[in-house]
Chain A
């Protein structure tokens, strides 16, 4: 048992779990036809059948409640403010499955050119709002309220010591819905993680309808027509948001150290996290040179990498894999789309470099631009 727990503790370390998730992700939510064929070959779409769904939920929920037998796990999960996160977890799983199932059904129907499930023939008469819709809305509201009250009776809202600006709690955490951002703060400068990323997220979301202008798949659940977008959206939403929240809430302990789900939050846990900048990594470690004084020269590798990432890769893709796509989109939309997606991809890359080679900054120009 303990060995199993230990194994899970190890596996759940971000460098492992995130990598696994990231790789698996593209097979489960294939962005392109190639991946989709893999997806089919591995019969992964079976997940979106009723049987698959039952299994999925059984696994996750079962695992969760088994884990609550472990005192350390219980201690963390039953923190009042963490309960919503458990809710989020299960909710996400369920609705993910629900939407994907319907998407698959519709895809199947469309494949042998039927209309999607939701389609209603204009000829057949519509449903009256009164009473059906109103009624179910009312019922939903009442049930929600009842649930809320029971929840409130069962769980006391947290209240800690009086505010004390000279003594920060350990760990000091942001509200759970911002834990994703707080996690980012570990890897990026405040102005990036705290200001730029949120802005990019919001702007990105807003610009979505203006980038994805393809008429297909409007108004019904579908996947294959919109692989790329769905896949990317899922990537951002599941991996970069939900996953990080769960990590931040359940697995970040004292001194913001990482703790496995079954690990005791030990105040004195010590982890080696000495960071190094890319510049010194290359100049000093690889080339055995002193750091050049000229900042630009010093940081050129980093700048080059960034340039490559944001300026070279997109055109390359445009010329190769995404030719058709590029043609459909036109310059501007393609540029914006690429900027956003490359930005989204760059986050995990940076995080990963930190986990693996303790990279602090790719480009470090103090007071100006640390990335």
Chain B
């Protein structure tokens, strides 16, 4: 009997005006209800309402794309939290990172962020691997594959720009090497081949204060400028671009006929 009461309490609860105003549909009891759930929910609307069987087989999807996205969300969240305690200046950066472990509440926020970043790189790679192995880049999904490649690149860039922020030896030297490659860019890097071509008369246009590396660091060597720059790249610029491409990526997944499968 108690069962019964409980049941119709829930019935009334989920049937209530407020509940409906928020979630539109009540409890999905039947096919229609379940469809409605997905259709009427912002967070689920990038799913179709129904899928071919293999699309829910982990064996087929490995869920890597989903995890990549999930990790991106985790990174955004933890990243924002870290920004409350981290100041990208040569006076503070290093010590703030020490404090993140020593005194900041929930001492492992930085760890979560860092390991999640590594994990995301791996997840993205596996996602690409899966997509390749199932030949899912083939028509009509060629372009989405390209976007995927772009996303992969930005994943790496995000990870790379984040690498400088602790402002320790690992950081500065990894970035030194990386940024010196920029200096070796053909034509626009002061060390690169053909740089001499970009000159008017004997006025060189590309020099230590005017080449790719300089634009990257905002300075002739890694210092306060580079730190700030990488911080903005890492926290604002690249994420925005990445999000933009993600949106397109997901949208294309739907528009290119949902998840791939044999015809």
Contact = CB atoms under 8 A, between A and B. Distances in A.
B138 A156 contact: no
B26 interface: no
A116 interface: yes
B129 A163 contact: no
B8 interface: no
A222 B130 contact: no
Interface in B127-169: 129-130, 132-139, 141-142, 145-146, 149, 152-153, 156, 159-160, 163, 166-169
Given A202-B149, A367-B193, A195 B114 contact: no
Contact of B261 (A120, A156, A160, A190): A120
B60 interface: yes
Interface residues of A, number: 93
B135 A162 contact: no
Interface in A77-124: 81, 84, 87-88, 91-92, 95, 98-99, 102-103, 115-120, 124
Contacts of A128: 31, 34-35, 49-51
A129 B185 contact: no
A218 interface: yes
B58 to A, nearest CB: 7
A119 B141 CA distance: 18
Contacts of A202: 149, 153
B168 A206 contact: no
Interface in A113-148: 115-120, 124-134, 136-137, 140-141, 144-145, 148
B201 interface: no
A120 B184 CA distance: 52
A115 B54 CA distance: 13
Interface of B (DSSP majority class): helix
A163 B167 contact: yes
B169 A164 contact: yes
Interface string A297-337: 00000000000000000000000000000000000000000
Given A165-B222, A221-B133, A153 B108 contact: yes
Interface in A194-242: 194-196, 202, 205-206, 208-210, 212-222, 226, 230, 233, 237
A46 interface: no
A208 B137 contact: yes
B112 A136 contact: no
Contacts, number: 275
A213 B160 contact: no
B56 A133 contact: yes
Nearest to B194: A368
A194 B171 CA distance: 18
A51 to B, nearest CB: 18
A63 interface: no
Contact of A226 (B135, B149, B173, B263): B135
A225 B170 CA distance: 46
Contact of B70 (A134, A141, A189, A368): A141
A220 B135 contact: yes
Contacts of B132: 208, 230, 233
Interface of A: 81, 84, 87-88, 91-92, 95, 98-99, 102-103, 115-120, 124-134, 136-137, 140-141, 144-145, 148-149, 151-153, 155-165, 167-169, 172-178, 182, 185, 189-191, 193-196, 202, 205-206, 208-210, 212-222, 226, 230, 233, 237, 367-369
What 6 pairs across the A-B complex have the smallest Cβ distances?
A194-B181, A152-B111, A209-B142, A190-B184, A163-B172, A118-B54
17 contacts: A95-B129, A128-B51, A140-B67, A141-B70, A152-B108, A155-B111, A157-B101, A163-B168, A165-B222, A168-B176, A169-B170, A209-B138, A213-B138, A217-B135, A217-B138, A218-B135, A219-B262
